[in-house]
Amino acid sequence: MTGKYSLPPTGAHRPVIMGLNGMVAAGHPLATQAGLAVLRRGGNAFDAAFTTATVLAVVKPDMNGLGGDAFGLFYSSRENKVSALNASGPAPAAARLGYFQARPPKPRSGAGTATVPGSVAGWFAMLERFGTLSAAELLQPAIDYAAQGFPVNYFLFGSLTRYRDSLERYPATASIFLPGGRVPGPLERLVQPQLATTLRRLALEGASGFYLGETARAIANFCAENDGFLAEADLANFRPEWKEPIRTGYRGLTVYSQPPVSQGHILLEALNIIGDDNLAYTGLHSPETLHLLVEATRLAFADKLRFAGDPAFVAWPLDELLSPERARHHRKSIQPGEASRPAPVSPALPAMGGETTYFAVMDREGNAVSFIQSLFHAFGAGVVAGNTGVLLNDRLVGFSLDPESPNCLAPGKRPVHTLNPCLVMTPEGQPFAALGTPGSDGQVQTNLQLLTHLLDYELPVQAAIEAPRWRRSSDGILSVEDRFPAATLDQLAHWGYRLERVGHWSDKMGGAQIVMRQARSGVLQGGADPRREGYAAGW
């Protein structure tokens, strides 16, 4: 890590949070505190994750909620294995490709954009398999924040202001998020009494309180009356799926990611492509290092466009995509000192939403949770389903309408997701790091940068998060934060990269959280991204 382009691993804005008994790093301080309180009173990482997830669903309504989807990676010390959970919902049975082909363009909001919500079933599946405390106890913080309100922070105020026009379009939505016809300002309370009622039903009835009975009936009736497709049968028949995670080796550790329909394979492909390069030699933030990382992700994304679809409907050649032979082939195609030309962007490609939230939890028993959940675009479909207080997702927008696409819309099919948490394990099979970020297609790019910061340059957790970031878009634009060395950015421009400077600290670059465990001492470390409002806390 020497040379004129290197930066020392010092100077983080926030301290690394350390503890011996438990650590939570989440996308909102109230969720972090609620999860930590569960750990302090004897709950395990999965209990804390349940509370953290449900509080996030209340206090970050623009990013996630009961009407959204979730994915998780879990290490259970009792089972001594890593498991993956896909809690994303399919297209409703009544959703037909021909309906949307006959009515271009595809709608971007409204009940007709909602797939079956998966988050609630995912939370309870995790708790039932790994948890130790009751759902009723663990839901109480979320119920309290919904019923009594929580302070609107500057991030939520900005989001409410930015999307005011779409929120005003639907009276039930406006009544909650624009009380009195205005955007609630910072330091005001946002109260969601109907959502509190729905959460209380979950505390009494479990996941059935959402997918069966009064709540399910209210959601289905609302959709039937508002050009939506969700029916009671869609909700009643939904089950989250336990899956085998996908993995690869990197710098002597094992990196786990989410299998399809997540695009977690992109991260693993990129790691395989750069695996034989000595990034410590080329230097942190050098043009050579950035060029290699950017091109590796470009090649992996190209594979996604060819194969990505619901594996229940299309064949995935994962063994081929993650093979050493393919990695070597891709590596040879990267030309030094030459930016690749972007592939033509297909008009059939769906828009990717970036409104998501991520959190990580570890406990003193050695358990680890890496979890991410989303409504897709900001405030999802923009509609609150009847009197439930539940914002529906707009994930149906994530399908392609091209019949030749592996991600083409079909009833009962899941759309491809950008959501992909990451979990890193030691050679001894113990958790080393749980990490992730919101940011649509930027997720795998940010995760790649975080991993190289931690494993190639051995940056402290907070410094790894706060280091300047880049993000490549599908049209070939390379967005860069201004804190990269000027010589690096000048060289990249000379090599043909089209640069977009996004300031020193851009929320476009995600909002990462990391929890790490020191193998010898067992000390837990947590870090959270100052680009957004996340925080880490431990004890």
Give the pair of three-digit tokens for residue 120. Answer: 């609630």
Rounded to whole angstroms, how far apart are CA atoms 249 and 80?
19
Residue (of 192, 234, 177) closest to 210 by Cα position: 234
| Spatial strand order in the sheet of 470-472 | 470-472, 477-480, 498-501
Rounded to whole angstroms, how far apart are CA atoms 409 and 96?
7
Residue (of 141, 246, 116, 274) closest to 203 by Cα position: 141
Judge whether 19 and 538 are in contact, CB under 8 Å: yes
Rounded to whole angstroms, how far apart are CA atoms 99 and 193?
36
Judge whether 440 and 508 are in contact, CB under 8 Å: no
Give the end-to-end CA distance of the chain in Å, rounded to a whole number. 33
For residue 190, the SS3 value is strand
Give the pair of three-digit tokens for residue 453. Answer: 């910061």
Residue entry with tokens 């000390």: 523
Q: Which residues contact 503 (CB under 8 A, 6 or more apart)?
A: 481, 482
| Helix (H) or strand (E) segment spanning residue 266 | helix 265-274
Rounded to whole angstroms, how far apart are CA atoms 441 and 418?
6
Rounded to whole angstroms, how far apart are CA atoms 274 and 331?
7
Rounded to whole angstroms, how far apart are CA atoms 55 and 35?
9
Residue (of 507, 383, 371, 330) closest to 70 by Cα position: 371
Judge whether 468 and 5 are in contact, CB under 8 Å: no
Rounded to whole angstroms, how far apart are CA atoms 210 and 121?
8
In the residue annotation, 356 being an active-site residue is answered as yes
Identified catalytic residue from 356, 357, 446, 488:
356
H runs (alpha helix) in 206-250: 208-211, 213-225, 232-236
Judge whether 56 and 41 are in contact, CB under 8 Å: no
Amino acid at 165: D
Rounded to whole angstroms, how far apart are CA atoms 260 and 438?
18
List residues with catalytic annotation: 356
